Structure 1
Amino acid sequence: MKDIDMIGSTPLPVTTADAPAAGGHYAQAIKYGGLAYISGQLPIAPDGTHRPEADFDDQARLAIRNLLAVAQAAGSSVEQLLKVTVYIVGIENWPRFNAVYAELLGDIRPARSVVPVPHLHYGYLVEIDAIAACAG
């Protein structure tokens, strides 16, 4: 088993103004070994504006767009998404999420998990994170 230092790759933080800034002790994403590990994206506007009262579909669209913006900043794209994890409040929102997800990802079908949760930070209804292939 190789030591991390021997692999020749250093974890690199990814930052973009096209998605909300990290609000805690974490990076928007970390690139390592040809992968981007994208932190959970809430439906917060890139300028930091909060609208937890927005309807579920609008929240889902914004969270996905934030995720894709971070992926792009990492040198990745929607076509290179490998694994997506979605946290939704209310199991009844699952079909609505599927519709928005299909609208924005089209024929792209990465591996995915959907996790129903009782609540999310700031009262939002959806959060999404991912692992994507990327250059470098």
Structure 2
Amino acid sequence: MKTIINTTNAPAPIGPYSQAVAVNGLLYVSGQIPMNPATGEIISTDIKAEAKQVMENLDAILKEAGSSFAGIVKSTIFLTDMGTFADVNEVYGSYFTSDFPARETVQVSALPKGVNVEISVIAIKP
């Protein structure tokens, strides 16, 4: 049985998908972009600010589902410019303390709403 996870503390889906789905002890979190959930505004001041907003959106969804960054087992980072990798990696890394998840980072030609970074994760529910 699957459970749909939604919170007003993260951006509402902009298409036919859920923020996250929990099934069999795993949590699949849809890709998050740097959108402020309160205003709907896209954060685009710089790549570090964008990455921080993405991570805060992920945090809100993980918390709503009863998980945390410590529960993440896999993440995927999508970037429109691999030249921003070091800055995004710095922000991303600040949300973990040890036992880092498996991850890949992929450069793509475009992302929703013209953003520069999107991150999705798979986590366990402790």
Q: How many residues align?
A: 126
CA apart distance, 1:101: 0.9
CA apart distance, 1:49: 2.1
Which structure 2 segments of 5+ residues have no match? none
Deviations 1:68-97 (A, max 9, x none): 211111111111100000101101011111
- Counterpart check, 1:27 vs 2:18: yes
Equivalent-residue separation in structure 2 for 1:108 and 1:61 (angstroms) = 20
Structure 1 moving runs of 4+ over 6 Å: none
Normalised by the length of structure 1, the TM-score is 0.87
Aligned to 2:27: 36
Contact kept in structure 2, 1:52 and 1:122, CA below 8 Å: no
- Counterpart check, 1:115 vs 2:106: yes
The percentage of aligned residue pairs carrying the same residue is 33
Aligned to 1:11: 2
Bigger Cα Rg: 1
Aligned to 1:71: 62
Equivalent-residue separation in structure 1 for 2:45 and 2:53 (angstroms) = 10
Normalised by the length of structure 2, the TM-score is 0.93
- Supply the AA of the counterpart residue of 2:24: G
Contact kept in structure 2, 1:52 and 1:123, CA below 8 Å: no
1:48-63 aligned within 5 A: 48-63=39-54
* RMSD, aligned CA: 1.3
Structure 1 108/20 Cα, relative in aligned 2: closer, same or farther at 3 Å? farther
For the residue of structure 2 that corresponds to 1:73, the secondary structure is helix
